[in-house]
């Protein structure tokens, strides 16, 4: 056993990369609600999904198996960047003066800068294996677009990315890196799809949203036989692939005889949160005491202010109808800098677990999140992605509570990505030009009037 007092970083060996992903569905006390077809409002069958997804991923989407084997080709690629390091945040602890021990799993150290590569490489692999030539997808912050561009390049497939307009304009170098990996990138909404044209006609000045970009990518995939759609979050199979984060975290913490009191992650579509939290929830379902907290922006507070209902996964009602926390499928959140957290809905699994009280949620404004990001950069040296900084903010809140109470809690969070392509946002923060955009409750109430009625 390594003495935890002396450890700053734990890096597992390559041979310890997990051979199986963990599927939380197997341990959920209540089984997940089914999906519904957005055209008919009837139950969605695996055959309905075949127009846009490969069969292996569809089977994973509906699987109740506890462990699913990671294909050798995916594990081989994982060796280029996994296991990711687990750090003890000694600098941050010292700055806060907390008795808590803070650890973070750093997913931003790979070529693309975020956790998204864990699933993009798996999704590209399954699509390639079933003869698909091109992937169409959306991207918010650009992290997912980058990860799927690299994965398509690796498996020699073409890649078309619909990038949310506000990010396309704020992050030109994200676009360049996707181009470098060979992807074609469009500012969404475009005039290339019915969905995009419809939105532009109704809202010519729209900043775009993940919901709109998803509609465009789904339409592209559904109307081209050689093309499939790939989603960077939300779906069960994405949460499954991300479980590698939590499985590795547990193994690394075991080496220093630590176990977290609280596990924290930012939550956009929910896959990053699911990735680190679900393997710990497995323990919780078996009787262990651990809290899991999903952190979201106050401007897009899906879990904390949304309602739990069946809704479309996208704005143009092309993606499956899923029971989830939602702000309404055509709610467009204000243009905050954590672009990857601007999604109207949330993973069905994360939503159900929250609804049943197994996990918690918190929401913060972007100014306090950037305060936390800068403190972290100055004490831990890594410049965090604005999305990940939401988790940092909550970790700080927990650590300061420990300072008050004197408790030596163990805090673990996912540092899901680095912020080196987000310097536009940091510049705005330093110039004093960043504002706290409020949640537009009235806009969400309007959007929630348009929820679908399913034939359940």
Ligand X SMILES: Cc1ncc(COP(=O)(O)O)c(C=O)c1O
- Is there binding between residue 388 and ligand X (CB under 6 A)? yes
Give the count of beta carbons closer than 10 Å to the beta carbon of residue 3: 8
Report how far residue 26's alpha carbon sits from residue 164's, in angstroms, rounded to the nearest whole number: 35
Residues 87-146 that bind ligand X (CB under 6 A): 114, 140-141, 143-144
Give the count of beta carbons closer than 10 Å to the beta carbon of residue 71: 14
- Is there binding between residue 147 and ligand X (CB under 6 A)? no
Report how far residue 149's alpha carbon sits from residue 134's, in angstroms, rounded to the nearest whole number: 11
Contact by Cβ (8 Å): 292, 277: yes
- Is there binding between residue 233 and ligand X (CB under 6 A)? yes
Strand partners, 362: 295
Q: Tokens for 75, please give them.
A: 């594990």
Q: How far is the CB of 105 from ligand X (least distance, A)?
A: 12
Report how far residue 231's alpha carbon sits from residue 217's, in angstroms, rounded to the nearest whole number: 9
The only residue of 38, 54, 320, 340 in contact with ligand X, by rule CB under 6 A: 340
Q: How far is the CB of 180 from ligand X (least distance, A)?
A: 18
- Is there binding between residue 270 and ligand X (CB under 6 A)? yes
Residue nearer to ligand X on the CB measure, 301 or 417:
417
Stretch that binds ligand X, among 213-221, 267-275, 276-284, 442-450 (CB under 6 A): 267-275
Q: How far is the CB of 244 from ligand X (least distance, A)?
A: 13
Q: How far is the CB of 391 from ligand X (least distance, A)?
A: 8
- Is there binding between residue 345 and ligand X (CB under 6 A)? no
427 CB-near residues (< 8 Å, 6+ apart): none
The only residue of 124, 132, 163, 266 in contact with ligand X, by rule CB under 6 A: 266
Q: How far is the CB of 322 from ligand X (least distance, A)?
A: 14
The only residue of 54, 83, 208, 269 in contact with ligand X, by rule CB under 6 A: 269
- Is there binding between residue 209 and ligand X (CB under 6 A)? no
Q: How far is the CB of 313 from ligand X (least distance, A)?
A: 12
The only residue of 417, 421, 434, 444 in contact with ligand X, by rule CB under 6 A: 417
Tell me the number of residues near ligand X by CB under 6 A: 21
Runs of H (alpha helix) within 306-451: 348-355, 366-380, 386-405, 423-430, 441-448
* Residue 252: strand, helix, or coil: helix
- Is there binding between residue 84 and ligand X (CB under 6 A)? no
Count, in order, helices (H) and strands (E) of the chain.
Answer: 18, 15
Residue nearer to ligand X on the CB measure, 106 or 312:
106
Stretch that binds ligand X, among 58-66, 152-160, 270-278, 305-313 (CB under 6 A): 270-278
> What is the pattern of x (binds ligand X, CB under 6 A) and - over residues 161-200?
----------------------------------------
Stretch that binds ligand X, among 176-184, 314-322, 328-336, 380-388 (CB under 6 A): 380-388
Q: How far is the CB of 338 from ligand X (least distance, A)?
A: 8
Strands of 35-75, DSSP E: 67-69
Q: Tokens for 193, please give them.
A: 């799809």
Phi, psi of 334 (to 5 degrees): -65, 160
Stretch that binds ligand X, among 77-85, 251-259, 262-270, 371-379 (CB under 6 A): 262-270
Closest to 381 (Cα-Cα) out of 7, 80, 87, 5: 87
Residue nearer to ligand X on the CB measure, 339 or 365:
339
Q: The sheet that has 184-188: what strands, in order across it?
A: 184-188, 158-164, 134-139, 227-229
400 CB-near residues (< 8 Å, 6+ apart): 96, 98
Q: How far is the CB of 451 from ligand X (least distance, A)?
A: 22
- Is there binding between residue 271 and ligand X (CB under 6 A)? yes
Q: Which residue is nearest to ligand X (CB)?
A: 340
Residue nearer to ligand X on the CB measure, 418 or 444:
418
Contact by Cβ (8 Å): 34, 322: no
Q: For 45, how many CA atoms within 13 A lie in the half-sphere containing its CB?
A: 3
Residue with tokens 């030109």: 172
Q: How far is the CB of 385 from ligand X (least distance, A)?
A: 4
Q: How far is the CB of 121 from ligand X (least distance, A)?
A: 15
Q: How far is the CB of 148 from ligand X (least distance, A)?
A: 11
Report how far residue 61's alpha carbon sits from residue 36's, in angstroms, rounded to the nearest whole number: 13
Give me the torsion for CA of 111, 115, 120, 121, rounded to 10°: 60
Residue nearer to ligand X on the CB measure, 176 or 194:
176
- Is there binding between residue 306 and ligand X (CB under 6 A)? no
Closest to 137 (Cα-Cα) out of 153, 154, 120, 118: 120
Q: How far is the CB of 267 from ligand X (least distance, A)?
A: 5
Residue with tokens 């590209």: 124
Q: Are strands 307-312 and 227-229 parallel, antiparallel or unpaired?
A: unpaired
Would you tell me which residues interact with ligand X (CB under 6 A)? Answer: 114, 140-141, 143-144, 233, 266-273, 340-341, 385, 387-388, 416-417
């Amino acid at each position: 056993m390594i003495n935890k007092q002396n450890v700053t970083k734990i890096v597992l060996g390559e041979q310890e990369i997990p051979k199986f992903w963990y599927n939380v569905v197997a341990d959920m006390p209540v089984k997940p609600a089914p999906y519904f077809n957005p055209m008919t409002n009837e139950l969605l069958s695996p055959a309905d999904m075949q127009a846009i997804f490969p069969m292996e991923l569809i089977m994973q989407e509906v699987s109740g198996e506890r462990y699913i084997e990671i294909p050798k080709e995916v594990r081989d690629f994982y060796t280029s960047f996994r296991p990711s390091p687990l750090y003890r945040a000694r600098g941050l602890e010292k700055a806060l003066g907390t008795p808590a021990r803070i650890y973070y799993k750093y997913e931003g150290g790979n070529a693309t800068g975020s956790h998204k590569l864990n699933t993009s490489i798996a999704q590209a692999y399954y699509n390639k294996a079933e003869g698909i030539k091109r992937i169409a997808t959306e991207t918010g912050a650009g992290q997912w677009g980058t990860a799927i561009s690299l994965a398509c390049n690796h498996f020699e497939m073409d890649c078309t990315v619909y990038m949310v307009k506000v990010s396309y304009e704020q992050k030109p170098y994200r676009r360049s890196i996707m181009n470098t990996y060979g992807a074609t990138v469009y500012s969404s909404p475009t005039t290339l799809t019915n969905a995009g044209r419809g939105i532009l006609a109704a809202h010519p000045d729209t900043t775009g949203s993940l919901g709109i970009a998803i509609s465009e990518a789904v339409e592209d995939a559904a109307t081209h036989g050689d093309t499939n759609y790939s989603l960077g979050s939300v779906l069960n199979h994405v949460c499954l692939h991300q479980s590698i984060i939590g499985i590795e975290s547990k193994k690394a913490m075991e080496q220093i005889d630590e176990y977290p009191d609280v596990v924290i992650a930012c939550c956009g579509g929910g896959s990053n949160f699911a990735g680190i939290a679900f393997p710990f929830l497995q323990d919780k379902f078996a009787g262990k005491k651990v809290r899991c907290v999903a952190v979201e922006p106050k401007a897009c507070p899906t879990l904390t202010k949304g309602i739990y209902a069946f809704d479309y996964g996208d704005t143009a009602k092309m993606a499956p109808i899923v029971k989830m926390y939602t702000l309404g499928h055509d709610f467009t959140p204000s243009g905050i800098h954590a672009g990857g957290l601007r999604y109207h809905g949330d993973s069905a699994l994360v939503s159900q677990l929250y609804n049943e009280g197994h996990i918690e949620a918190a929401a913060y404004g972007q100014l306090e999140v950037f305060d936390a990001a800068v403190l972290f950069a100055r004490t831990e040296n890594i410049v965090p992605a604005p999305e990940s900084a939401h988790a940092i903010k909550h970790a700080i809140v927990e650590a300061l509570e420990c300072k008050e109470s004197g408790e030596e809690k163990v805090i673990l969070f996912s540092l899901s990505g680095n912020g080196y392509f987000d310097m536009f946002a940091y510049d705005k923060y330093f110039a004093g030009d960043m504002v706290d955009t409020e949640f537009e409750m009235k806009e969400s109430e309007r959007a929630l009037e348009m929820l679908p009625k399913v034939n359940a």
